[in-house]
Amino acid sequence: MKRVLGGKPSLLTSFSILGAFITVVIAIIFAWSLENLLEQNTLQQEAHSAADQVALVVSPNLSLADLSAPLESVRFAQIDALIRKDILHGHIVHVKIWNKGGMVVYSDEKNLAGQYFPVSDELEKALGGEIAAEVSTLDKLENVGEKDFYPRLIEVYVPIQLAGSNEIVGVYEIYHDFAVLEPIIAATRRFVWIGVGLGFLILYGSLFTLVRNASRELIHRNEENKLLYEQEQTRRTEITALYDLARALADTHDFDSILDLVTRYAVETVHVTFSRVALLEGNEFVIRAAYPIRILDYNLKVGERGTLGSSQFYQRVLDQNTPSVIFTDNPDLSDSEREMLFLGMAKSVCLMPLWSGERALGLLMFAEERSEEREPFSPDKIRLIHSIGEQTASALFRVELFVQLEESYLATVFALANTVDAKDTYTADHAERLAIMALAIGREMGMTEHELEDLRYGAILHDIGKIGVPDAILQKPSHLNPAEWVQMREHPSIGARILAPIAHLAGAAQIVLHHHERYDGKGYPDGLAGEATPLGARILTVVDSYSAIIDKRVYKEARSHAEAMSELRKHAGTQFDPGVVEVFLEKIVELGGIP
Provide the domain count of the chain. 3
Question: Closest Cα partner for 238 from 363, 351, 381?
Answer: 381
In sequence order, the 6+-apart residues with CB closer than 8 A to the CB of 122 are 132, 133, 134, 155, 157
pLDDT at residue 274 is higher than 80: yes
Mean pLDDT across the stretch 172-183? 78
Higher pLDDT, 77 or 252: 77
Question: Closest Cα partner for 504 from 375, 406, 389?
Answer: 406
If pLDDT is split at 50, 70 and 90, which confidence band does 555 have?
A: confident
Higher pLDDT, 275 or 580: 580
Backbone CA torsion sign across 407, 410, 414, 415: positive
pTM of the complete model: 0.46
Q: What is the DSSP letter of 489?
A: T
Q: Is residue 231 part of a domain?
A: no
User: Are 242 and 387 spatial neighbours (Cβ–Cβ below 8 Å)?
Assistant: yes
Mean pLDDT across the stretch 578-594? 84
Q: What percentage of the chain's residues is helix, strand, coil (to nearest 5)?
A: 60, 15, 30
Domain end residue (candidates: 151, 168, 185): 185
Q: What is the mean pLDDT of the chain?
A: 81
The whole-angstrom separation of Cα 216 and Cα 212 is 8
Range from 22-26, 265-269, 457-461, 523-527 carrying the lowest mean pLDDT:
22-26
The whole-angstrom separation of Cα 534 and Cα 516 is 11
CA 526 to chain centroid, in Å, comes to 31
Mean pLDDT across the stretch 4-13? 57
Higher pLDDT, 384 or 205: 384
Task: Tell me whether residue 217 is exposed, middle or buried, using C-beta atoms within 10 angstroms of its C-beta: 0 to 12, 13 to 18, 19 or more.
Answer: exposed
Mean pLDDT across the stretch 565-585? 94
Range from 16-20, 245-249, 263-267, 491-495 carrying the lowest mean pLDDT:
16-20
User: Are 157 and 133 spatial neighbours (Cβ–Cβ below 8 Å)?
Assistant: yes
Phi, psi dihedrals of residue 348, rounded to the nearest 5°: -155, 155
What are 128-171's pLDDT values in tens digits?
A: 888 888 887 666 666 666 666 677 788 888 899 887 788 898 99
Task: Determine the structural domain holding residue 565 and report its residue range.
Answer: 424-591
Q: Is residue 227 part of a domain?
A: no
Mean pLDDT across the stretch 11-38? 70
User: Are 350 and 325 spatial neighbours (Cβ–Cβ below 8 Å)?
Assistant: yes
pLDDT at residue 286 is higher than 90: no
Question: Closest Cα partner for 338 from 363, 381, 367?
Answer: 367
If pLDDT is split at 50, 70 and 90, which confidence band does 438 have?
A: very high
What are 89-98's pLDDT values in tens digits?
A: 777 888 889 8
pLDDT of residue 4: 44
Q: Is residue 222 part of a domain?
A: no
pLDDT of residue 218: 67
Q: Is residue 65 part of a domain?
A: yes
pLDDT of residue 254: 80
If pLDDT is split at 50, 70 and 90, which confidence band does 2 have?
A: very low
- CATH code of 109's domain: 3.30.450.20
pLDDT of residue 227: 65
Q: Of 51-65, 187-201, 288-302, 462-476, which one has max mean pLDDT?
A: 462-476
pLDDT of residue 68: 84
Task: Tell me whether residue 245 is exposed, middle or buried, using C-beta atoms within 10 angstroms of its C-beta: 0 to 12, 13 to 18, 19 or more.
Answer: buried
Q: Is residue 298 part of a domain?
A: yes
Q: Looking at the structure, tell me whether residues 289 and 383 fall in a common domain.
A: yes
User: Are 544 and 460 spatial neighbours (Cβ–Cβ below 8 Å)?
Assistant: no
Domain end residue (candidates: 159, 185, 211): 185
Q: Looking at the structure, tell me whether residues 392 and 428 fall in a common domain.
A: no
- CATH code of 586's domain: 1.10.3210.10
Domain end residue (candidates: 185, 213, 238): 185
Rounded to whole angstroms, what are the CA distances from 323 to 354, 396, 443?
A: 10, 19, 50
Q: Is residue 239 part of a domain?
A: no
Range from 142-151, 192-201, 312-321, 467-476 carrying the lowest mean pLDDT:
142-151
pLDDT of residue 516: 94
- Amino acid symbol at 67: L
Q: Looking at the structure, tell me whether residues 394 and 438 fall in a common domain.
A: no
Q: What ranges in 321-429 are assigned the alpha helix state H? A: 335-340, 379-423
User: Are 108 and 129 spatial neighbours (Cβ–Cβ below 8 Å)?
Assistant: no
What are 368-383's pLDDT values in tens digits?
A: 888 777 778 888 888 8
pLDDT of residue 3: 45
Question: Closest Cα partner for 273 from 347, 325, 327?
Answer: 347
Q: Looking at the structure, tell me whether residues 328 and 466 fall in a common domain.
A: no
Q: Looking at the structure, tell me whether residues 302 and 439 fall in a common domain.
A: no
Q: Looking at the structure, tell me whether residues 475 and 560 fall in a common domain.
A: yes
Reported as type and span, the H/E element at residue 567 is helix 561-571
Q: Looking at the structure, tell me whether residues 391 and 300 fall in a common domain.
A: yes
For 368, the 3-state DSSP assignment is: strand
Higher pLDDT, 189 or 533: 533
Q: Looking at the structure, tell me whether residues 163 and 282 fall in a common domain.
A: no
Question: Closest Cα partner for 397 from 364, 356, 358?
Answer: 356
Q: Is residue 44 part of a domain?
A: yes
pLDDT of residue 150: 72
What residues pair up with 299 in beta bridges, in sequence order? 294
pLDDT of residue 1: 44
What are 193-229's pLDDT values in tens digits?
A: 787 777 777 877 777 677 677 666 766 677 777 766 7
pLDDT at residue 7 is higher than 60: no
pLDDT of residue 521: 95
Q: Is residue 475 part of a domain?
A: yes
Q: Looking at the structure, tell me whether residues 523 and 435 fall in a common domain.
A: yes
Rounded to whole angstroms, what are the CA distances from 403 to 37, 393, 400, 532?
A: 71, 15, 5, 32
Q: Looking at the structure, tell me whether residues 153 and 38 fall in a common domain.
A: yes
Q: Looking at the structure, tell me whether residues 32 and 173 fall in a common domain.
A: yes
Mean pLDDT across the stretch 270-284? 84
- CATH code of 294's domain: 3.30.450.40
Order the strands of the 359-368 sheet from edge to edge. Answer: 305-307, 284-291, 274-281, 359-368, 348-356, 324-327
Q: Looking at the structure, tell me whether residues 146 and 84 fall in a common domain.
A: yes
Higher pLDDT, 554 or 338: 338
| Residue 279: other Cβ atoms inside 10 A | 18
